[in-house]
Amino acid sequence: MIDWPSYNRSLVQRGEILFSYDFLDGWGSEIENMNINKKGKPFVFPDSFILAIGYIRYLFHLPYRQTQGIIKATGKRLPANPPSYGHICKRINKLNIDIKRDKMDDDDDLIISIDSTGIKITNRGQ
């Protein structure tokens, strides 16, 4: 006999996106530095956050409105209200983002494993 509630939960977990909020640690100091000698309205979102949004948009091939939806859904920990899709578009286009598919020799690790059974974060050495 199938345990349908458990099976349904497992299907939902397969679609979960694990997102690191490490960039929030330097949010305040980065905004402070960005707003030094800035004329006009001060920045609310640091470049590191906009860069993270840009990578999400690129990796999942999302339009700006859907990118805004993901940030809104996952951004409950953000120190500010999530940006609009127009704001996301303007800021991403102002950044000099160099995304290359073959750039895997960086010191930073990016390990994502997805198959029909769900996501597994690797354990080193396995």
Give the tens place of pLDDT for each residue, 63-89. 999 989 888 877 777 888 889 999 999
* Both structure tokens of 111: 């390990």
Residue spans of the domains in the chain: they are 21-32+39-98
Place of tokens 């805004």: 68
Strands in the chain per DSSP E: 114-115, 118-119
Q: Is the pTM of this model over 0.85?
A: no
**What pLDDT, in 10s, does the model give residues 91-114?**
999 987 776 654 545 556 555 555
Residue 87 confidence (pLDDT):
93
Whether residue 57 contacts residue 15, with contact meaning beta carbons closer than 8 Å, is answered with no
